[in-house]
Amino acid sequence: MFQQTRAPLRAGRIAEPAAIRAIASPVRQELVDTLEALGGVATVAELAEQLGRPADGLYYHVEILRRAGLFVAAPLGRSDTGRSERRYRTPTRPGTQLALVYRPRDARNAAAVRAVVGGMLRIARRDFDRALAPAASCGRRAPPAGSATPSSPRSTACSSAWPASCAGPAAAPASA
């Protein structure tokens, strides 16, 4: 299991290798990005909804981020249904995003940053493959630029931006 680091973050800068390694996972990178996009505070259910993932599969990752000091458990709040839910926030001031500190001469730091970049590349490859899949299978053009948000499963190539008639290789190609 992940050891608790609780290294203080100065102005949202992540410098400790253990904290950097905590976001090497693509899932955890998406969690951090989504929490920041939601204004820095959200429940696991809200994060799951935005990511199009089941909440049950995110608690483990949220706990790793919390132990690394990248998520902070906020006071319990009430959901729309009246249930008590834990909210999480980033440890930064509003408007300040988390940022990695790269120290190329520090072997542990450099290795941790390389692992994070590897995760970023896996996310980019997944999103790229999803965007191209329907175009390759039915010959239709991709949705216009700006109609999809990177790393958002609901806005990938399988979204409503693709016509329902795009049923695979047998579908007629789109006219130019």
What pLDDT does 118 receive?
A: 94
**Which structural domain range is residue 104 located in?**
13-126
* Overall domain count for the chain: 1
The CATH number of residue 41's host domain is 1.10.10.10
pLDDT in tens, 118-127: 999 999 999 9
- Assigned domain for 59 exists: yes
Burial of 141 (0-12, 13-18, 19+ CB in 10 A): exposed
- Assigned domain for 165 exists: no
- What is this structure's pTM? 0.68
Q: Inform me whether the pLDDT recorded for 173 exceeds 70.
A: no
pLDDT in tens, 51-66: 999 999 999 999 999 9
CA 7 from chain centre, in angstroms, equals 22
User: Rounded CA gap, 49 and 10, in Å?
Assistant: 30
- Mean pLDDT, rounded, for 7-32: 86
pLDDT interval class at 153 (50, 70, 90): very low
- Assigned domain for 144 exists: no
pLDDT interval class at 139 (50, 70, 90): low
